[in-house]
Homo-oligomer: A and B are copies of this chain.
Amino acid sequence: MARIVEITDLLLREAQQSLLETSMALEDVVPVFEDLDNAGYWSVECWGGSAFNACIRFLNEDPWERLRTYRRLLPKTRLQMLLRGQNLVGHRNFDDSIVNRFVEKAAVNGIDVFRIFDALNDVRNLKASVEAVKKAGKHAQGAICYGPSPVHTIAVFVDLALQIKQLGCDSICVQDVDSLLKPQAAYDLVKGIKQKCGSDTLVSVHTHSTAGVSMVSLMKAIEAGCDIVDTAISSLALGRGHNPTESLVAMLEGTGYESRLDMERLHRIKQHIANVRPRYGAFDNQPIGVETEIFQHQVPAAVILNMEYQLKGQGTPHLLDQVLAEIQSVRRDAGYPALAIPASEILGTQAMFNVLHGKYAVITSEFADMMLGYYGTTLGEKNPEVVAKAAIRANKPAITCRPADLLEQSWERCRTEATTLGSNGSDEDVLTYAMFPKTATQFFQSRAAGPKVIGRESSELKASSELAPVANEGGDPSPGPSRTYIIRVSGEDHKVTVTPAQ
């Protein structure tokens, strides 16, 4: 008897983010739903991560309404979302009143499986959401954010898995956001988790195909006992995306492992997605070949692309290699967070400023917060000199508590504000507002116009993705001569505030 390997398909969410830098219009994916719902997937990832923001920002579409549509049209399927721990689907810590309500409403509207991660691997940042998911009676999948470093050994990640399991998680995900998980590490990690957490612990592996190695990592993970792997239908796979679903099914033939998937349905899904993908040509970021350079610098391709763009804008494109090297240094100073959102952008931007303006001559407010513990704690020791500079720059002390413990319970305030600013009165609208106050307010005003079909409006959208100073959104006003930039990475806008160090 072959052991079943379960599959989570990413085509409705992360595959779009990785390859198209946006979300596809609902009408372009609905035709595959019958096949998706009956193909035999363990789950379909369809919500959360950057897709929430993309929905209100680019598609003029209510993300909650989209979730309800998925629920209605995929009645047999576990719907899965990516939740950034205490950051939810945004880029800053939210207080527990928002976390609890967000999870509750995501569950009510249709999410079955919550994959929860924190870029710093600070388990305290997962706790509130895991508890909320369990309270809602749903599946809590706690994720290790995989990024090797001198202090991040396999044993450390295995310990982390145990801590995550002890939060009450139903499964553990090895989440490799950057295609860094090599085959032997995949094997050792899954084996270690199964040994430490119990062989009945459900283990899922998520990776990217960027470096051309991770299909083998999935095979080795499966050999080590991995239960679920993430793939994407082949017409929306490879490059900086994920490994192709059909290839994974074929890979298993004769190995003693097999999937439940119906290849005929997969081929139909593939064909339809291949047919509609060209509509997103303006966003389609299909590289030729692979990027094994990522093993050296660990910097996600999207961050590199953004740096190239900015360095070119400054007339200093030749500085890229220096910036990539500087990221290593900044990451070390920051205690080795994984280069996942939001840490990847925060460290990348700080490294760029170090190269352009001198080492820590300019410190971004986000980097200062990270150094001072306001995103959580890191496994590596932070550079005390840089912590001291950050404290001066931010004019506040370093903290060691769970960052969300310092936050005001803002649910009631958000509800009042959202109502004033045009929400429809639902709790879901309040949550949308809490995540992205400015974008949500604009969305509330334009919602009646209905979803935009961006596949046809590519030139317009492209223009809006350029780097431009903007007003602050929902953050503290920056002091003095600071400027705030919106930097677009992977279809997400990241606010970066620059103030000369004092």
Contact = CB atoms under 8 A, between A and B. Distances in A.
A250 B219 contact: no
B274 A293 contact: no
A185 interface: yes
A254 B289 CA distance: 24
A496 interface: no
A14 interface: no
Given A182-B253, A185-B254, A244 B292 contact: yes
A212 interface: yes
Contact of A213 (B182, B211, B247, B274): B247
Contact of A182 (B182, B244, B254, B270): B254
Contact of A235 (B211, B238, B288): B288
A377 B246 CA distance: 35
A235 B290 CA distance: 7
A288 B286 contact: yes
Interface in A405-435: none
A63 to B, nearest CB: 28
Contact of A292 (B185, B247, B289, B293): B247
A244 B214 CA distance: 13
Could you say how many copies of this chain the assembly holds?
Answer: 2
A298 interface: no
A261 to B, nearest CB: 11
A304 to B, nearest CB: 15
A250 B246 CA distance: 24
Interface in A198-246: 211-213, 215-216, 219-220, 234-238, 243-244, 246
A188 to B, nearest CB: 8
Given A246-B292, A286-B288, A290-B244, A212 B183 contact: no
A184 interface: yes
A238 B295 contact: no
A283 to B, nearest CB: 14
A251 interface: yes
Chain A interface category by residue count: 35 or more
A255 interface: yes
B292 A250 contact: yes
Contacts of A237: 212, 289-290
A250 B213 contact: yes
B234 A292 contact: yes
Contacts of A220: 219
A255 B288 CA distance: 27
A277 interface: yes
A280 to B, nearest CB: 12
A267 interface: yes
B212 A213 contact: no
Interface string A283-308: 00010111011010000000000000
A209 to B, nearest CB: 9
Given A212-B243, A219-B183, A274 B251 contact: no
Contact of A246 (B188, B234, B270, B290): B290
B234 A289 contact: yes
A238 B250 contact: no
Contacts of A184: 253-255
Contacts of A246: 212, 290, 292
A148 to B, nearest CB: 11
Contacts of A289: 234-238, 244, 270, 274
Interface in A89-138: none
Given A219-B183, A219-B219, A251 B213 contact: yes
A220 B185 CA distance: 16
Max count, chain B CB within 10 A of own CB: residue among A243, A286, A288: A288
Contacts of A216: 215-216, 219, 251
Contacts of A211: 247, 250
Contacts of A263: 292
A288 B284 CA distance: 11
Interface string A171-193: 00000000000111100100000
22 contacts: A183-B251, A211-B250, A212-B215, A212-B238, A212-B243, A212-B246, A212-B247, A213-B247, A216-B219, A235-B288, A236-B289, A237-B290, A238-B238, A244-B290, A244-B292, A246-B290, A246-B292, A250-B295, A263-B292, A274-B288, A274-B289, A286-B288
Given A183-B219, A216-B219, A250-B295, 18 more contacts: A182-B251, A182-B253, A184-B254, A184-B255, A212-B246, A212-B247, A216-B216, A216-B251, A234-B289, A237-B290, A238-B288, A238-B290, A244-B289, A244-B290, A246-B292, A247-B290, A247-B292, A250-B292
